[in-house]
Chains A and B, each alone.
Chain A
C-alpha cells in the first residue's frame, strides 16, 4: 500500500479546532438551560475529538481495522454510562 493519498490541509483542521473551542467557551457561558448546554458542549467535544482522530491521526486514510479498534473504547464508554445511569437516577430521585 503506498502513501499516495494527498496530505490533508492541517491548518484548516487547526482553524476548525480553534473555532470549535471558542464556540465551546461561548456555549459554556451562555445563559441557556443546563441540559441544552451539556448537549451542546458534548457535541462540540465529540466533533473536535473526531477531527483530531480522522485527520491528525490519519484514521480517515487508514485501513478500516484501525477505525474499528479506535471506535471500541468510546462504544464501551457509552455502555458504561448507560449501565451506571439507572443507579445514579435512582439515588437522585430518592434523595429529593
Chain B
C-alpha cells in the first residue's frame, strides 16, 4: 500500500516513520555507509598507532615528508568543502548556475588534490622511500594516504556525475546534492585526521 504510493511518486521523499528517523532515507543510507567507511579508517589509524608506538626507529615524519606541501593540500580540501556547501546553498535558492559553478570548483579542488598527491608520491618513491624500503613507516604511510586518495578519486567521480545531472536539481529536489556533499565532507574530515596523525605528530 505505502509501497504502491511510493512507486506512484518516485521522486518524492518518503515521510519519516518516527521523530528519530531523518527526513530522507538516502541521507540515512549515506550516514550508515560513512559510519562503516569510518570503521575502515578507524581500524587503519588504530593499526598505525599500535605499529608506530611499538616500533623502533620511527623517523620524525616532518624530516621525511613534505609538510608545507601537504599543508597546501589540506587547505585545498577545506576550500573544496566550502565550495560544496556553497553549491548546496545555491540549489536550495533554485540557483542552478550557482550549483554548477560551485560544484565545478569542488571537483577542480579534488582533482588538484589528487594531482598534488600524485606528485608527492612520485617524489617519495623516486627519492625517499618505496612501499617497503623504510619498513612500517613507508607501508603505513602509503596504505593510509592511498586509501584516502582513492576516496578522493571516488568523490571526484561522484561529484562529476552530480554536476553532469545538474539540470535535474532544484529548490524542491536537492537531496542527491546534499547526500553527495556528506560524502565529500567526510573525505575532508578524514584528511584532517590523517594530516595530523601521519604528517604532523
Is A81 an interface residue, CB under 8 A from the partner? yes
Interface CB pairs A-B, < 8 A, 13: A25-B67, A28-B200, A52-B185, A57-B182, A57-B189, A70-B35, A76-B39, A77-B46, A80-B42, A80-B43, A81-B46, A81-B49, A91-B54
Is B14 an interface residue, CB under 8 A from the partner? no
Is B74 an interface residue, CB under 8 A from the partner? yes
Q: Give the interface size bracket for A toward B.
A: 35 or more
Please give, as numbers and ranges, the residues of chain B lying within 8 Å of A89 by CB-CB distance. 53
Chain A nearest CB, measured from B185 CB (Å): 4
Is B176 an interface residue, CB under 8 A from the partner? no
9 tightest Cβ-Cβ pairs between the two chains A and B: A73-B38, A80-B46, A45-B196, A77-B42, A28-B200, A88-B54, A84-B50, A56-B185, A88-B53
A-contacting 9-mer, from B4-12, B18-26, B115-123, B138-146: B18-26
Please give, as numbers and ranges, the residues of chain B lying within 8 Å of A42 by CB-CB distance. 196, 201
**In the bound complex, what is the Cα–Cα distance between A13 and B85 (angstroms)?**
11
**In the bound complex, what is the Cα–Cα distance between A70 and B38 (angstroms)?**
9
Per-position binary interface string of chain B over residues 177-196, scored 1 when its CB falls under 8 Å from any chain A CB and 0 otherwise: 00001100110110011011
Are A21 and B201 interface neighbours, CB within 8 A? Answer: no
- Shortest Cβ distance from A13 into B: residue: B82
**In the bound complex, what is the Cα–Cα distance between A92 and B89 (angstroms)?**
51
**In the bound complex, what is the Cα–Cα distance between A24 and B188 (angstroms)?**
16
Contact of B62 among A28, A38, A57 (CB under 8 A): A28
Are B39 and A37 interface neighbours, CB within 8 A? Answer: no
Are B75 and A18 interface neighbours, CB within 8 A? Answer: yes
**In the bound complex, what is the Cα–Cα distance between A37 and B181 (angstroms)?**
33
**In the bound complex, what is the Cα–Cα distance between A29 and B21 (angstroms)?**
45
Is A33 an interface residue, CB under 8 A from the partner? no
**In the bound complex, what is the Cα–Cα distance between A37 and B49 (angstroms)?**
16
Which residues in chain A, 13-30, are within 8 Å of chain B measured between CB atoms? Answer: 13-14, 17-18, 21, 24-25, 27-29
Are B53 and A49 interface neighbours, CB within 8 A? Answer: no
A52-B185, A76-B42 known; A21 vs B75 contact (CB < 8 Å): yes
**In the bound complex, what is the Cα–Cα distance between A27 and B200 (angstroms)?**
9
Are A28 and B50 interface neighbours, CB within 8 A? Answer: no
Is B129 an interface residue, CB under 8 A from the partner? no
Are A56 and B81 interface neighbours, CB within 8 A? Answer: yes
Is A74 an interface residue, CB under 8 A from the partner? yes
Is B28 an interface residue, CB under 8 A from the partner? yes
Please give, as numbers and ranges, the residues of chain B lying within 8 Å of A7 by CB-CB distance. 89, 92
Is B151 an interface residue, CB under 8 A from the partner? no
